Structure 1
Amino acid sequence: MKTPACRIFLFPAMVCFSIIFLLSCTGQKIVSLKTLLMGMTDRTGITQTPSPWYKLIQASSYDRKSDKVGGKGWFANDDYTQFSGVDSSKGRKEYILLDSDGPGAIVRWWMTFAGEGSYDGIIRVYIDNTETPVLQENALKLLSGQLLAGEPLSASVSPETDLKMRGHNLYFPIPFLKHCRVTIECDSIRITANSRKPSIYYNICYRQYEKGTKVVSFSKDELLQNAELIKSTNETLKSSGTISDNLNLYSSSEPISAKDSINVNIRSKNSAISKITLKLSAFDTEYALRSTVLKITFDGFQTVWIPVGDFFGTGYKKTTSSTWNSRVDDQLKMESYWMMPFKKSCSVWLINYGDQIVKADLNIESSKYKWRSNSMYFGASWHEYHQIMTAGAESEGGTGKHRDINFADIKGKGVYAGDAVAVFNTVEAWWGEGDEKIFVDGEPFPSSIGTGTEDYYGYAWSRPEIFSHPFIAQPSGSGNFHAGLTINMRYRSLDAIPFMSSISSNIELWHWLPAIINYSLTSYWYVIPPYEINIK
């Protein structure tokens, strides 16, 4: 029987409107498709601890042998066609990708496939324990085929890569009040004790809201009623830069001698840096990108210390990219759009740790910001594992003794907002089999555990082709298969990770060959003092 393009559970528009109206009268914050979409383009939202509070969890196809931290299977690599169960109650096999009680919302969904029949699977999304799926469609059409929304909410990367070798990304939010189950039906799936075919990889990030949170579940009516908002959200996300009223401009344009610095002081109550523009020139500009460091203090708290190239997402090479939070053009003009609030003052330094003169054209734009009790300071940290030895796979002559490396450990209350890696590979082999492992608030097992570094950054199959998307980018992939530099970035939107007391963000160092490489890690976050971070 031919499967309809999309089967949607019909939720009467009048009932939906009535629920929203009644909830709004109570003064409670309502989670809905509308509020989630609006949150994606609200640059101030991430500067405040979330309300209602939520836990960010990832359901993924990680190798289930990785069942114990530090155990024998901790670095197991069969991260495909792994499911949390199978439902055969409807006369067909539906393999379960996600099964969660509400209130919640799916906020980031990535998949890729390989093998005969792997692309033919039918995804079903069941909301609030209904027997009829609210969504039913081929996986590619649902995730990146613009079924629910156009680009970039629904997109595959890189556009230069063959479609079946891409990572397929859905950033379109799917809220649910009581329950959500996501399944895949695929006649090609064969699972035995020694084999799993075909290869189906998935990462689904979802919010689990605090009990009592009012949620308007996703429905066809919600989709239709928010059609214009979906369109405008896509248009806003595709536009670089930030538009704000009452901007103040602070500038510095002067040479920085070796081992010297310049700084710009801003004293303005209830303000926020909304844009930083920097253009460097030097005899060796690429060296200057790493040896020139951006340092920022807000109200006396230093939260930013990072090489400028890594901060803006270009590493130590001249690359181009355009995302929601940063942009680098072909003239190496670098822009940041992170919102950085403060109560009374902030100071921005450029420190030249190199041995050459660096000319820096620095422009800082600030705007009015209402500081609230749940406002947070922006932070960015960086460090490098310099000339680190990789274990290599046993099948390739290595020891197989892989290890976890650390983005950052933060103690305090805040939100983890994104990260980036710059990897200089030295051999002809893929360096990024490593899975992310993120522990929140002292949990014994990571609430986010993934399926590979490129999967975490939104692409697939180690592909070197460059791409830019509002929330993910690969400005350089020359080191993916060969000796060279790879830069990967992920800026978190609705998939930002709140933490009440601590977060430990890590990723596996899992290279196919034994090699000596350089691996630098950047983290972006917001925090409420007092706090501690292990990156000094």
Structure 2
Amino acid sequence: MVRARFFFPIMKPKTLLLATLLFAIFAGAANAGTITIKSLLDEMTDRDERARFPDPAFTCAQFSSYDRASVAPDKPGWFANSDRSMFLRVERNNGRREFVMLDAKGPGAIVRFWMTFAGKDCGRGTMRIYIDGAGTPAVEGTAFDILSGSIIAGPPLAASVSEETPYERRGHNLYFPIPYAKHCKITYESGNLREDDPGAKKGDTERVYYNINYRSYPAGTPVESFSKSVAQRHAAAISSAQEKLASGAAGLAPAGNFTGLVADLAPGASHAVTLRGPAAVASIALRLRAQNQEQALRSTMLEITFDGEQTVRVPVGDFFGIGYKQLRTNTYNTTTDESGLMRAAWVMPFEKNCVVTLRNLGAQTVRVTDAAVATKPWKWDARSMHFGAGWRQYTKVLAGPHDKAVDLNYAELRGKGVYVGDNLAIFNTTYRWWGEGDEKVYVDGEKFPSHIGTGTEDYYGYAWCRPEVFTGHPFIAQPLGEGSFAPKLSVNTRYRGLDAIPFGKSLRFDMELWHWSPTRVNYAPAAFWYMLPGGRSLAPDNTADAREPVALDRGDIIPTDLRQDKDGALFIEGEDLLVEKTTSGKAAAQSIKRPMPWSGGAQLWWRDLKPEARATFAFYSDVSGRFDMTAFLTTANDYGTFVVRLNGKIVFKNLNLNTPELYTTTAQAGVELVKGKNTLDVELVAPSKHPGGKTHFGLDRLRFK
């Protein structure tokens, strides 16, 4: 066999040096403008570049396992929730069954890849990434090893969250860019997937959930396709990017010209500073002090006007990604700690002037300390964009499952720009998960969203509604997750690096609110973007929302006091009762698809009871006295027999709710209401005889006359 050889003529040292320099110059010129792993990582870590409209231009879209029953907002199935194992097709390759997740023409790049799994040996199947039509994959391994292991990169470019969560219940995130010149295909092979119904829940079938964000560049854009050898050649750039990303905003040394923002803000007062351009805000730092710290974080507004256009109006806590709790977090764009110091590293250019205002919309005095805006030089050009941020709260909004789900708007933008992230502060009011809803992003008037996902927690990078905190990832965070399964607050963040979404005319971002229990919640998203001058947000005025008292417990949202019906009787819905304590089982609101004569379409469901289980529920009354109480209850073959007490006195001694079929019934008794808090104690005295061994209790409503 003849081996190819390369011969170089012998040169004098000076001639050799000149030749080397010329080679480097021409090689650099050949690669100028080429999309490479290095160029993408440089873009990812360059805060300045984020503030310029992309060049070369690109579009960003998403492949995902969303339920294919979702076809249009006005068609049945728009809120379908079987967002698992929905593949493009199944291919046979050398005797293998490969389920295709992504099939995209180049030039382009994979820029964010999230997955989670359920079922037997989940995540242990083989993933393959094929580049430019090659029959041999450029990447091959288990999904876990590729997305959050070390096959392609280490953390934070490949990471799972939260580290406090069992590994199989985490979200697995790959942010390492995978460029391709001609084509990319990603497949998953698992013997646990059923070809006829890969997402079936039966038996040991594996369930696969995925979201893949990818860029598409204009035809002819030069791209250096990914390969292991190419990645090795860019090892220094990869290491540098990893280091920058791991340090987050906390690793950015304060620099620039500083303008103080310190002030004492009386109720209704504001404090503003004016900056002269051309320049760019490099960072904003501050600390708030108030008697009611939570309310101060929500009712103190940050407003910024660039070149005469106000584009930022967000409560301080939401701007820094912590809602209205003083939390610790450190992403690439914001960093905060429990002492109250908050800092944002967004770069915000302006051509002529910038006005930064802090406005106190609350009823208490707020002290602003350790506050300053840092600016740096900026050469304004045709690609320079203004930073924008908007916020609103859907206060006490109705939430529910299936057809009770709703699309809530995060952002409605007109102009040319790039969508770069959002966060969400939600106060849950039940002991069930609130976030089955999927993101839906419409770019430039799309009828069907180019981004549609598989669940709110999936969008924010974690999985399975887990409450564990994670705060050290550059682009995603959950600094508080107490509200996952309890009436408390949760805060989620997703900032977009390479998966930022450019738009030429418009962008609309909606998120489904899909809650497993029919209830009301406070749902407050903040959105972040850049737009060329003249762009505008169509968001409504948020002054009233920011003045709303923040929810600190369930009673701040759900009325737990007796109300009056049209006949003058007092009542409370079962699902609105306070759950004081239970010795076993779980108590939460329940709704079902089939028609039931439940008031409000829901009941309080106390389920999976052990023998002698006890629960205490509570409500409040403005009056006291003797009343006739009617309890509206549910019966079924897996319901038990109970003793019920009101304020310590037995009202139903042997309340038998066991019937062959699911039905409703009523029970009546004379009772004494007290002014203030009333307690309803329920004790299981005889379990059901259901073959499955389950015993439940259901209360639709209490009525007092």
Does residue 461 (structure 1) correspond to residue 464 (structure 2)? The answer is yes
**Alpha carbons of structure 1 residues 503 and 433: separation in structure 2 relative to 1, 3 Å:** same
Structure-1 residue corresponding to 2:290: 282
CA deviation profile, 1:220-262 (whole Å, cap 9, x unmatched): 2211111121111111111134657971000132211111101
Is the 1:24–1:30 Cα contact (8 Å) retained in structure 2? no
Corresponding residue SS for 2:392 = strand
**Where does residue 203 of structure 1 map in the other structure?**
211
Which of residues 47, 50, 69 in structure 1 aligns to 2:51? 47
Partner amino acid, structure 2, of 1:117:
D
Q: Report the counterpart of residue 388 of structure 2 in structure 1.
A: 379
TM-score where L is the length of structure 2? 0.71
Aligned partners of 1:27 and 1:375: how far apart in 2? 25
User: Closer, same or farther in 2 for the Cα pair 1:253/1:62, shift >3 Å?
Assistant: same
Residue 190 of structure 1 aligns to a residue whose secondary structure is coil
1:273 to 251, 275, 281: 281
Taking the aligned partners of 1:273 and 1:498, their CA distance within structure 2 comes to 22
Q: Which runs of 5+ in 1 are unaligned?
A: 1-17, 394-399
* Distance in 1 between residues matched to 2:253 and 2:231, nearest whole Å: 29
CA distance in 2, matches of 1:245, 1:119: 42
**Counterparts of residues 121-520 of structure 1 (less than 5 Å):** 121-192=125-196, 195=200, 197-239=205-247, 240-241=249-250, 243=252, 247-267=256-276, 269-361=277-369, 362-393=371-402, 400-468=403-471, 469-520=473-524
Give the drift of 1:191: 3.9
2:529 corresponds to which of 507, 525, 530: 525
Give the drift of 1:68: 2.4
Q: CA deviation at 1:117?
A: 2.4
What residue ranges of structure 2 are gaps of 5+ in the alignment? 1-21, 541-705
Q: Give the CA deviation at 1:20.
A: 11
Contact 1:341 1:369 in 2 (8 A): yes
Kindly provide the CA deviation profile for residues 350-397 of structure 1, in whole angstroms up to 9, marking residues without a partner as x.
00001111000221111111111111000000001000011335xxxx
Distance 2:366 2:133 in 1: 61
Query: CA contact under 8 A between 1:20 and 1:216: conserved in structure 2?
Result: no
Residue 25 of structure 1 and its aligned partner are, at CA, apart by 3.0
How far apart are 1:182 and its partner, in Å?
0.3
Query: What amino acid sits opposite 1:455 in the alignment?
Result: D
Shift of 1:529: 2.4
- Residue 119 of structure 1 aligns to a residue whose secondary structure is coil
Say which SS state the counterpart of residue 473 (structure 1) adopts: strand
**How many residue pairs align between the two structures?**
512
Distance 2:125 2:25 in 1: 39
TM-score, normalising length: structure 1 = 0.93
Cα deviations across residues 22-51 of structure 1 (Å, max 9, x unaligned)?
A: 785368611011100111110011111111
- 2: CA distance, partners of 1:496 / 1:387: 31
Local SS of the residue matching 1:94: strand
Quote how far apart the aligned CAs of 1:211 are: 1.5
CA distance in 1, matches of 2:165, 2:176: 23
Q: Residues of 2 paired with 1:341 and 1:241: CA distance?
A: 21
Local SS of the residue matching 2:434: coil
Cα separation, 2, equivalents of 1:31 and 1:124: 22
Query: What CA distance in whole angstroms lies between the structure 2 residues aligned with 1:25 and 1:69?
Result: 49
Cα 1:65/1:47, change in 2 over 3 Å: same
Q: 1:116 & 1:245 partners in 2: Cα distance?
A: 50
* 1:512 to 1:341, Cα distance in 2 relative to 1, 3 A: same
- Judge conservation of contact 1:242–1:337 (CA < 8 Å) in 2: no
Aligned-residue sequence identity (percent) comes to 46
Aligned AA (1:387) = K
| Pair 1:336–1:145, CA change in 2 (3 A) | same
Please report how far the alpha carbon of residue 210 of structure 1 lies from its aligned counterpart in structure 2 after TM superposition: 1.3
Partner of 1:4: none
Secondary structure (helix, strand or coil) at the match of 2:210 reads strand
Distance 1:506 1:21 in 2: 48
| Kept in 1: contact 2:326–2:337 (CA 8 A) | no
* Superposition map of 1:7-22 within 5 A: none
Q: Is the 8 A contact 2:131 2:137 kept in 1?
A: yes
For 1:96-146, what per-residue CA distance to the aligned partner results, in whole angstroms no more than 9, with x for missing partners?
A: 010011000000000001100222210000000011100011110000012
CA contact (8 A) 1:105 1:207 kept: yes
Deviation at 1:283, TM superposition (A): 1.0
* Matched-pair contact (CA < 8 Å) for 2:427–2:523: yes
Residues 246 and 258 of structure 1: CA distance in aligned 2, closer, same or farther (over 3 Å): closer
Q: Please say which structure displays the higher CA radius of gyration.
A: 2
Partners of 2:88 and 2:101 in 1: CA distance: 6
Q: Deviations for 1:173-228, whole angstroms, at most 9, x for unmatched residues?
A: 00000000000010110143583631110001000111111100001221111112
Provide the C-alpha distance between the structure 2 equivalents of 1:251 and 1:176, rounded to a whole number of angstroms: 47
> 5 Å matches for 1:59-70?
59-70=63-74
Greater Cα shift, 506-515 or 252-261:
252-261
2:84 maps to 1:80:
yes
1:346 partner letter: C
Distance 1:352 1:519 in 2: 22
Question: Is the contact between residue 150 and residue 231 of structure 1 (CA under 8 Å) also seen in structure 2?
Answer: no
Contact 2:442 2:448 in 1 (8 A): yes
1:452-490 deviations in whole A, cap 9, x for unaligned?
Answer: 000000000000000011100001100011110010000
Q: Measure the CA separation in 2 of the matches of 1:167 and 1:45.
A: 28
AA partner of residue 530 (structure 2): Y
CA shift, 1:339, in A, is 0.5
Does 2:45 correspond to 1:37? no
Instruction: Please tell me whether the aligned partners of residues 149 and 231 of structure 1 are also in contact (alpha carbons under 8 angstroms).
Output: no
3-state SS of 2:236 partner: helix
Contact 1:427 1:482 in 2 (8 A): yes
Query: 1:330: how far off?
Result: 1.5
How far the C-alpha of 1:270 sits from its partner, in A, is: 2.1
Distance (Å, rounded) in 1 between the aligned partners of 2:216 and 2:397: 37
SS in structure 1 of the partner of residue 397 of structure 2: strand
Residue type of the alignment partner of 1:512: W
Query: Partner letter of residue 331 of structure 1?
Result: S
Contact 1:242/1:274 (8 A) holds in 2: no
Q: Tell me, in whole angstroms, the C-alpha distance in 1 between the residues paired with 2:425 and 2:24.
A: 45
Q: Is the 8 A contact 1:287 1:316 kept in 2?
A: yes
Query: Looking at both structures, which has the greater relative contact order when contacts are Cα pairs under 8 Å and sequence separation is at least 6?
Result: 1
Conserved 8 A contact 2:311-2:536: no
Letter in 1 for 2:214: Y
How many angstroms apart in 1 are the aligned matches of 2:413 and 2:366? 33
Please state whether the residue corresponding to 1:287 is helix, strand or coil: helix
Pairwise CA distance, 1:93: 0.3
Aligned 8 A contact 2:250 2:330 in 1:
no
Query: Is the 2:328–2:335 Cα contact (8 Å) retained in structure 1?
Result: yes
The 2-side partners of 1:245 and 1:164 are apart by: 39
Cα distance between partner residues in 1 of 2:293 and 2:121: 49
Task: Name the Cα RMSD after superposition.
Answer: 1.8
* Counterpart residue type for residue 235 of structure 1: E
